[in-house]
Amino acid sequence: VTRYLDETVETMPRARIEAMQEAAILRLLPYAYERSGLMRSQWDKAGVTPSSIKSLADFREKAPVLEKDLLRAHRDTTGDPFGGIKCTDQPRLRSIGFTSGTTGDPTAIPFGDQIASNRGLKRDFWEMGLRPGDHFIFNILTIRRGQESDRFSDVDFRPICMGHAGHEIPRMLEACHIFRPTVFHHFSRPLITALEEIDRRGEIDLKDAFSSVKGAPFGGEPPAPKVIELVRSWGVELYDYTSLGDVCSAMECRQHDGMHAWEDLAMVECLAPESGEEVPEGTPGELTVTSLQDEIAPLVRFRSGDLITCTREACGCGRTHVRIKVLGRVGDQVVVAGRSIMPKDIMPMIDRVPEIVGGLFQIIRPQRDMSELRLRVAVRDDSGPAAPIADHIAALVREGLGVPASAEVLSLSDMLKLGPPHKIPRVARQ
């Protein structure tokens, strides 16, 4: 029995990771420049050629960063549904997926066999205790998904595939009873809220249903302490995870101190959103990602829109790859009376109001700078009059953050109408 799925790669010394990345970047740039219409037009405009980049240092200094808007603009002007990122065709191009559309209209993404890009997820599942021959629940989202059934066959992890929706929950629980999965991929706020209702009604013994589950990734946003505790009471350990700029994903290890991004699969940079300069470790910056093992549609210095901090210090789990913490979306930041506030700063106050169901809230953000912090919260339909709850949460936020605040109260059913099934946006324009 081994501690890691890919021990050599997962525990590689930092100098070797960097050398591997440099070789991969120098291979990638001429390949992508020749084939990707988007990269060619962008780099030509910037006056940079792949041959002028001879090291990682050159890359960091000279390579243009890619905005998602540029990809959409290229798609709309050329009519290429893939936005000019596709580098190869059949037979290697195998299927088509779409981005989640969190920050705009969904963009088509071409897929190949995905063996390399899924390697990281397999390492993460192994860390949770999944072993060859084990089952795992795989309730998938729309982000970068191609063929599902054979993606895990090389390690003999056995997915039980279903949708991520409320009406699928009875099937998920039934599958847990029959197949006793080791990993439940994945939990989200809406799913946990629905499970909490099932638990309250006492219909199903969730502890028994989840008795074989050793770990469950939690996606969409960082889990609040209250949520981690609730799920732990069902016997399940949550692992925070996030999309790594649509290239692959990053997931917590058993240390739960940041999400590991696999640097043999993607190069991670943390750049100041305004200047594009690399920020020192520990300082908030925008997650910027380059695909290192994607010959179908590699992204080069893609700005993810996520505000993160990162560290390359050795982790207690023994792996050497970078760890990131997501602070929120770059566009989620509000400045109230001169103070910078992210949605996660509000979570502790929300958790202190028992009427607020599933920690559901939104910041109403017509623009970044505001004189008052305006919130929208969701309560159970039987919670009684709204006004005292609104006053209570506004007072807690005023006290906790020291800024003027107000709140409006919605029923749970009205709140759930405001988002796609897997997440309610933390920030609304109105």
Residues that bind Zn ion (CB under 5 A): 253, 255, 315, 317, 319
320/333 with CB nearer Zn ion: 320
CB of 155 to Zn ion, least distance (A): 20
Q: What is the DSSP letter of 223?
A: P
CB of 315 to Zn ion, least distance (A): 3
> Which of 360, 362, 288, 298 has the alpha carbon at shortest distance from 330?
288
Cα distances (Å, whole numbers) of residue 346 to 377, 403, 405, 430: 11, 12, 11, 18
Burial of 393 (0-12, 13-18, 19+ CB in 10 A): buried
Spatial distance between the Cα atoms of 367 and 127, rounded to a whole number of angstroms? 42
Bridge partners (DSSP) of residue 341 are: 334
43/262 with CB nearer Zn ion: 262
Spatial distance between the Cα atoms of 357 and 383, rounded to a whole number of angstroms? 10
Largest CA distance in the chain: 67
Spatial distance between the Cα atoms of 325 and 306, rounded to a whole number of angstroms? 10
Instruction: Report the Cα 195 to chain-centroid distance in Å.
Output: 22
232 sits in which H/E element: helix 225-233
For 87, the token pair is 């580098």
For 427, the token pair is 């920030």
130/403 with CB nearer Zn ion: 130
Helix axes 68-78, 37-46, angle to 10 degrees: 110
CB of 228 to Zn ion, least distance (A): 17
CB of 314 to Zn ion, least distance (A): 9
Spatial distance between the Cα atoms of 119 and 113, rounded to a whole number of angstroms? 12
CB of 266 to Zn ion, least distance (A): 17
**At 336, is the secondary structure helix, strand, or coil?**
strand
319/376 with CB nearer Zn ion: 319
141/251 with CB nearer Zn ion: 251
Instruction: Report the Cα 9 to chain-centroid distance in Å.
Output: 23
> Are residues 59 and 49 in contact, defined by beta-carbon separation less than 8 angstroms?
no
CB of 215 to Zn ion, least distance (A): 14
> Which of 180, 327, 167, 184 has the alpha carbon at shortest distance from 242?
327
Burial of 191 (0-12, 13-18, 19+ CB in 10 A): buried
CB of 311 to Zn ion, least distance (A): 11
206/315 with CB nearer Zn ion: 315
160/317 with CB nearer Zn ion: 317
114/249 with CB nearer Zn ion: 249
Q: Where are the beta strands (DSSP E) in 144-201?
A: 158-163, 183-185
CB of 255 to Zn ion, least distance (A): 5
CB of 260 to Zn ion, least distance (A): 6
For 292, the token pair is 């290192």
230/317 with CB nearer Zn ion: 317
Spatial distance between the Cα atoms of 355 and 384, rounded to a whole number of angstroms? 9
40/312 with CB nearer Zn ion: 312
138/239 with CB nearer Zn ion: 239
CB of 4 to Zn ion, least distance (A): 11
Q: How many CB atoms lie within 10 A of CB 2?
A: 7
Q: Beta strands 373-379 and 405-411: pairing type?
A: parallel
